[in-house]
Structures are given as structure tokens and as C-alpha cells.
Structure 1
Amino acid sequence: MLRWFYGHTRKDRVQNEVIRDRVGVAPIEEKLTQHRLRWFGHVQRRPPDAPVHNGVLEQVDNVKRDRGRPKLTWDESVKRDLNDWHISKEIALDRSAWRLAINVPEP
């Protein structure tokens, strides 16, 4: 979509990063992380008896996993994102501080 917006085709052989810089859009990975952390903040601010806590935050230990590398779960990816962005999950209880912490600035 950004290629079309900027007037380039695949034949022009312009890299995606160059087009994103010219248009001024943040990288997709950062935006996905931001949305995942925004949902995590929403879940953290809900009361403990809310239905969203039943399926998201409970760990089930007696499930047999398939062979090979285990699938990356949502909570594992959130823990990784919090660690990468150097954010503690206690900040999620304050909505304004949480929004400032997970904001991805546009270039």
C-alpha cells in the first residue's frame, strides 16, 4: 500500500525500509508490539473476576505439547515485549502513564 501511495512499483527495486522512511510510518513490528501491549494494559486494568482473565492469564500445566519447538503464547510474547521495551507491568494500572510508555512515535 505504501508503494502505491508513494508511486513506486516492485520493478523500481526500492526497499521497504526506504519507502517507510520517506512516507514517515513506524515499522510494522513496533506497531504490532504497541497493540499487543495496549491490550495487555486493558487486561491488567480489568477486575480479577472479569471473564478476560479466565482464558488469558491462567497457566495450564497438564497440557501435552507437540514435538519440536513450543508455540509462542500471548503471555510469553507480552513478557518479551515488556522486557525489550524496559517497561514494568505495574505501570499498566495507570492508563496515562501506560499510554506514554507504549507510544510508538512516527518518524
Structure 2
Amino acid sequence: MTYGTETWSFTAGRMRKLKVAQRAMERAMLGVSLRDKLWNEYIRSRTRVTDIAQRISNLKWQWAGHIARRTDNRWGRKVLEWQPRTGRRSIGRPPTRWSDDLVRHAGNRWMQVAQDRALWHSLGEAYVQQWTCEGL
């Protein structure tokens, strides 16, 4: 369920859908239906599965640090630094980009911040908590 999630741009709606899917899978593992009206915390304590939001946000943070610290000239870093041509923007809210939540937690210079592994790790803990504490 988490394969390739490092490359997704996370939104609250997408995270909510993943959490709902995880809870449905956990209920299926225990053979419990929604009619049994068991609390999610009780189900989670029985299955002892890591929260999906915590897992994928941690994976994304680690992947971003890995990409930022690369020194070879592979395309991953080039794609992050690429600026599209200027032109007319479409109307409405712009879609969420992959790096938007990284910028929100580590600042505009997040690629330079990622060079310091200790600082990057400490910022990563706060980043993971944003998705696990919101109660989505």
C-alpha cells in the first residue's frame, strides 16, 4: 500500500482516503464489521499495524533528504530544481506540488537544510507529526 508514496504530493483528502482504506483492511484482518461499532484505537491495538500516515510521511521525508544530498547529476535533483516556463496560469487554486509540504516545514532552502543530517532528522519528526495528529 505504501509502494511509491514517496513521490506523491500529499493533501488532506488523499491522506484521509488512505487512512480509511487502512482501517478497512485492519477490520478485515480481525473479521470485524462496521456494525460491531469498535473504536479505531481498539482495532489498531489489536492489529499493531503502523499508522499509514506516519509511515508514508516518514518515507517521503527520508526520500527528500536522500535526493537533496545526492551529488551525482541524476535527473531526480534536476527535476526538483527545474522552473517551468512562465506563461498564463489556469484559473483556480494551483495543484499541490510535491515539495510544498517540505517547504512549509523546512523553509524555501530545504535542499540546503537536508545536507545536515541531524537537523534534517529533527525536522522530520515534526513533519511526520503533522499528518498523524490532525485526526483525519
Deviation digits for residues 3-46 of structure 1 (CA, Å, limit 9, x no counterpart): 12233112212343442244333432222211111110111111
Q: CA deviation at 1:48?
A: 6.2
Say if 1:30 and 1:63 are closer, same or farther in 2 by CA, change over 3 A.
farther
- For structure 1, the residue ranges without an aligned partner over 5 or more in a row are none
Q: CA RMSD in A?
A: 3.1
User: Is 2:26–2:44's contact at 8 Å kept on the other side of the alignment?
Assistant: yes
- For structure 2, the residue ranges without an aligned partner over 5 or more in a row are 1-24, 129-136
TM-score, normalisation: structure 1: 0.65
Q: Is residue 47 from structure 1 mapped to residue 71 from structure 2 by the alignment?
A: yes
User: Is 2:68–2:114's contact at 8 Å kept on the other side of the alignment?
Assistant: yes
User: Any idea what SS the aligned residue of 1:14 has?
Assistant: coil
Q: CA deviation at 1:89?
A: 5.5
- Number of paired residues? 99
Counting aligned pairs with the same residue, the percent is 28
> Counterparts of 1:41 and 1:14 in 2: how far apart (Å)?
39
Runs of 4+ more than 6 Å apart: none
Provide the residue aligned with 1:93 in structure 2. Answer: 115
Say if 1:98 and 1:30 are closer, same or farther in 2 by CA, change over 3 A.
farther
> Counterparts of 2:54 and 2:88 in 1: how far apart (Å)?
32
